[in-house]
């Protein structure tokens, strides 16, 4: 497995594994033992970066990852997140954010126990809390790093000014936000700022929440508990219009003897050497398919054609429901 560097010192596999879907967001939780087996398979095939959060479940995703990775803890990088208003005992959600310093500390302690470790490798603020100065957040994580409970600081879905202010207090190793051929918002200003500051980028939903695999169309029925039921760009009408994107990816895949998913991931990897996508899956064959993207080389002409054709397509529908959008880019 090829490796990449996030920030100045965190070396990880070129692809990570997003673990959220194993317990939440796309319907019922998958079988626990099957997911432990999948996580071990990912590691056997070279993946070292595993992404989770207290909010996934809540708590059950960290529990799963802690159990799965305990035997190989020294060989992997665990990224988890704080920042939502979640009761640390009951798991009840308050509906908003909470990055008060005392809450960050309490989340860190709880996550350490669930992850069965004494140090979190990469600790992201899951969403910016408008009620707490980012300097206080960064300072709290800086203290946790000094205490040996955290190694690296990250931000998720943060705006560029917030990133600059946080980085001035405690160097930010990685920023996590959505980025794919289905959502290219980070190209407007985020990528340039990350390059300037030497911060790595970890795109989530690198396959457009599955859309870029070519397995979804306007007739696809999602599970009742699947978050895509509430996402505007996944309405049947939007899906039908947005299939034009998938046709572009499929055409490249056919030329390259690859799959659409592999092309979508290879495209991301080709954008910057410090980008590490974290596709998620609950299926062994999808894991192996995704890993094939690391060896798929897109030429300059491939990339030019993709950009030229994609620029003529207007994606329909917002990428998140309105309440969730209001919590991004702060």
Catalytic-residue membership of 26: no
Contact 41, 14 (CB under 8 A): no
Catalytic option among 26, 56, 124, 179: 56
Which residues are marked as active site? 56
């Amino acid at each position: 497995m090829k490796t990449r560097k996030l920030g100045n010192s965190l070396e990880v596999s070129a692809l990570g594994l997003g673990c959220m879907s194993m317990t939440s967001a796309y319907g019922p939780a998958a079988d626990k033992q099957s997911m432990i087996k999948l996580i071990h398979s990912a590691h056997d095939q070279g993946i070292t970066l595993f992404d989770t959060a207290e909010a996934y479940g809540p708590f059950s995703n960290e529990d799963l990852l802690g159990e799965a990775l305990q035997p190989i803890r020294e060989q992997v990088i665990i990224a988890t997140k704080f920042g939502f208003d979640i009761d640390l005992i009951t798991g009840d959600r308050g509906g908003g954010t909470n990055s008060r310093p005392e809450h960050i500390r309490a989340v860190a302690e709880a996550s350490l126990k669930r992850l069965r470790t004494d140090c979190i490798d990469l600790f992201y603020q899951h969403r910016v809390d408008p009620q707490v100065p980012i300097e206080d957040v960064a300072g709290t994580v800086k203290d946790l790093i000094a205490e040996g409970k955290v190694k690296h600081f990250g931000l998720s879905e943060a705006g560029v000014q917030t990133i600059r202010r946080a980085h001035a207090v405690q160097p930010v190793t990685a920023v996590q936000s959505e980025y794919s051929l289905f959502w290219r918002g980070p190209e407007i200003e985020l990528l340039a700022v990350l390059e300037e500051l030497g911060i790595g980028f970890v795109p989530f939903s690198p396959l457009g929440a599955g859309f870029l695999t070519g397995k979804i169309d306007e007739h696809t029925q999602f599970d009742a508990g699947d978050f895509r039921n509430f996402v505007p760009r996944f309405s049947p009408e939007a899906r039908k219009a947005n299939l034009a994107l998938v046709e572009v990816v499929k055409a490249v895949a056919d030329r390259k003897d690859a799959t659409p998913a592999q092309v979508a991931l290879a495209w991301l990897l080709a954008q910057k050497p410090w980008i590490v996508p974290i596709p998620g899956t609950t299926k062994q064959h999808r894991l192996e398919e995704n890993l094939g993207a690391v060896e798929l080389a897109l030429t300059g002409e491939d990339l030019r054609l993709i950009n030229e054709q994609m620029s003529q397509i207007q994606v329909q529908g917002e990428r998140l429901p309105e309440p969730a959008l209001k919590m991004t880019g702060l």
